Amino acid sequence: MAVHKKFNALGRGLDALISTEGVRTQGSSTINEISIDQIEANPNQPRREFDEEALQELANSIREIGIIQPITLRQVAENRFQIIAGERRWRASQITGLKSIPAYIRTAKDESVMEMALVENIQREDLNPVEIALAYEHLLEDSSMTQERVSERVGKSRAAIANYLRLLKLPAQVQMALQKKEIDMGHAKALLSLDSPSLQVKLFNEIKKYGYTVRKVEEMVQMLKNGETLESGNKKISQKQQMPEEFNMLKDKLSKFFNTKIQMSCSPKGKGKISISFSDEDELLRIMSIFDNLKDKEQ
């Protein structure tokens, strides 16, 4: 008998990934009662951390009304089963002291288990972005899938998968903060626009300290990419770039022409800023007169 449960959050449910034909069960039932002690967690489960408070709440619910949705298992040895989906329910059941738990037993190839767990978790309780990224990386490395194939299997666009994988290039402390929800995915994506890991960490520390919004961080990143210097609190942050020699020569020429200090910044894309320094009002008037003379000559 086939078991059909539809989950459409991703456009493709578990039924599209797990064959439910020919499920082996006890008697005529499609659900087994499996001993808690015979069940083991999936070592490749994408979820790495479980909120203790949330688990306790789930355990309290199980005490009152029992397990509404059976977990999904595959048999790995005689009287041994591994979780495909439902580890939170299994853990919460242990807290309540249950001896057995209702479960579907599915036949699945090893390389399919990770994607099943990934889809199930995304549909039921969001993984944090780093866990999702690690899960995608695992699928790509261990199953030899392409990004396009992973996209088809989990119902996400290639661009979305690529964006998650890019998170793994962030400095460790940024990834940890993202995993602990100290910053949002938007913050992380903005930081990825910066090429320098040290600059990413500097701006990340400012985000934590002052609680900057994603939009604010995007503006700050753009300023840095344009070669501008940021002021955050009492700190100045800049993206130091080694300017081409011709730019340095131009800077020296301008400094001699105006007879004052000239500051120049330039982004890798060639966009930058020129600053002319003056020490007092008289020097400002002198510089302005130079501009006036240049204007008169043009006319």
User: For 135-165, what is each residue's pLDDT tens digit?
Assistant: 788 778 766 778 888 888 777 888 988 999 9
**What is the average per-residue pLDDT within 247-255?**
82
Residue 52's pLDDT is: 85
Residue 24's pLDDT is: 37
Most confident among 111-120, 221-230, 263-272 (mean pLDDT)? 221-230
Residue 96's pLDDT is: 92
Residue 18's pLDDT is: 35
Residue 121's pLDDT is: 63
Question: Which residues does the annotation mark as catalytic?
Answer: 87
Q: Which of 121-125, 155-159, 166-170, 230-234 has the lowest mean pLDDT?
A: 121-125
2, with CB counted inside 10 A (0-12, 13-18, 19+), is exposed
Tokens 């510089």 — which residue? Answer: 287
Instruction: Give the C-alpha separation, 94 to 1, whole Å.
Output: 30
Instruction: Give the C-alpha separation, 246 to 250, whole Å.
Output: 6
Instruction: Give the C-alpha separation, 29 to 293, whole Å.
Output: 95
Higher pLDDT, 279 or 142: 279
**Alpha-carbon distance values, 210 to 23, 29, 235 (Å):** 55, 57, 12
* Confidence at 2, pLDDT banded by 50, 70, 90: very low
Instruction: Give the C-alpha separation, 76 to 82, whole Å.
Output: 6
* Residue type (1 letter), 216: K
User: For 16-47, what is each residue's pLDDT tens digit?
Assistant: 333 333 333 333 224 678 999 999 988 877 67
User: For 113-142, what is each residue's pLDDT tens digit?
Assistant: 666 766 666 555 567 888 888 778 877 876
Residue 183: pLDDT above 80? yes
Q: Which of 8-12, 64-68, 179-183, 259-263 has the lowest mean pLDDT?
A: 8-12
User: For 53-111, what is each residue's pLDDT tens digit?
Assistant: 888 988 998 888 778 778 888 888 888 999 988 888 999 999 999 999 888 887 656 65
User: For 184-220, what is each residue's pLDDT tens digit?
Assistant: 999 999 999 888 888 888 899 889 888 999 999 999 8
Residue 38's pLDDT is: 94
Instruction: Give the C-alpha separation, 162 to 208, whole Å.
Output: 26
Token code pair at residue 1: 């008998």
Higher pLDDT, 27 or 265: 265
pTM of the entire predicted model: 0.53
